[in-house]
Amino acid sequence: MSSVSALQLVLLAGLGFALAAGLVVSAAAPAALARVAPWDPERRHRALLLLALSPPALGGVGLLAALLPSLLAVGWPAHDHCLAHHGHVHLCFLHPPTQVASPTSWLLLALAAAWLATRSVVALAGLARANRLARRLLDFQRIDARLGARVLPTATPLCLLVGLVRPKVVLSEGLLSQVSSEDLDVMLHHERAHAVRRDTPVRLLATAATAFVWRPVRTRLLRELSLAAEQSCDEAAGRAVGDRLRVAEVLLRVERLLQTPADGLARVTASFGGDLSARVESLLEEPRPPGTLMRPLALVVLAALALLTASDPLHHATESLLGALTH
């Protein structure tokens, strides 16, 4: 029965490492957020994205490290250590478990599968609904080649970037009738920066990757990631028009004018408005010097190497914990 039981053990181990990685990131995130707060927006955004993507990365490396002795034993039987110790379940492809697992382990897997399936269905349904709304919205557009944008025949002021794969800048006639061409130029540069950076799919990826992070920490991390993206696009617009203060002035003028996208549409859009005070304050300060992510990347690589180096004790500890769960 081994193949089913071996797969069950791997799934249980994967669930455990996913939860552990989520706890580690939940504990480390507050200090990391404080550390990157003074950084320039682009560097801060990259660092926060790295932090958001680290739970699945660390969980995957941890699972690989726990499986490494078994994987090595498949190619090099001399590395097989299962016969050297007895008394607990083996996370091994050469010596899979021979006993039926306990109902507790099946219950844990069933609950985890139900939770993941529910979250996935809700997320995919929301994404599909947002795509339908976006397509319906774009059905009424006209293309303005001069602006390089789609224009909607509505009096509601709108300035959005709509779409995931091929995002499009969408304006409304109500907005065009109420803002100057100079202000509109700043807004267009901001939205095009979102398109170049792929901020909408990046936001979705970060949301999925932080599924196992403690909710208050996750909410704060995603909010800071979104703010860093907005500030990065503000800086890009400032460089394009040659004046960062002009971007701040436009933000103050149009913030109350613009309508935010409906909740159902927000998943596939980026809006010019939002986070007004933090964005204006950032633009009024002196530009922060750019930097690299050498130190955060080095920490991630060192953590991965530490897990792989400790593969033998990690493998044994994982087997012991699995044995407690499955018997």
Q: Supply the pLDDT for residue 2.
A: 46
Q: Supply the pLDDT for residue 234.
A: 95
Could you tell me if 65 and 162 lie in one domain?
no
Whether 247 shows a pLDDT value over 80: the answer reads: yes
- Is residue 117 in a domain? no
For 23-60, letters b (16+ CB in 10 Å) and e give ebbbeebeebbeebeebbbbbbbbbbbbbbbbbbbbbe
Q: How much is the mean pLDDT over the chain?
A: 82
- Is residue 175 in a domain? yes
Could you tell me if 234 and 319 lie in one domain?
no
Could you tell me if 164 and 259 lie in one domain?
yes
- Number of structural domains, the chain? 2
Could you tell me if 306 and 180 lie in one domain?
no
Indicate the pairing of strand 149-152 with strand 168-172. Answer: parallel
- Is residue 114 in a domain? no
What is the value of pTM for the model shown?
Answer: 0.83
- Is residue 160 in a domain? yes
Note the pLDDT tens digit of each residue in 83-128: 556 556 666 666 666 555 567 666 777 787 787 778 777 777 777 7
Could you tell me if 170 and 270 lie in one domain?
yes
Q: Supply the pLDDT for residue 27.
A: 96
Could you tell me if 251 and 322 lie in one domain?
no
Handedness of CA 216, 221, 222, 223 (dihedral sign): positive
Could you tell me if 168 and 254 lie in one domain?
yes
What is the span of the domain harbouring residue 209?
A: 145-286
Note the pLDDT tens digit of each residue in 212-244: 999 999 999 999 999 999 999 999 999 999 999
Whether 169 shows a pLDDT value over 50: the answer reads: yes
Note the pLDDT tens digit of each residue in 19-54: 999 999 999 999 999 999 999 999 999 999 999 999
Give CA–CA dist 194/239, Å, rounded: 14
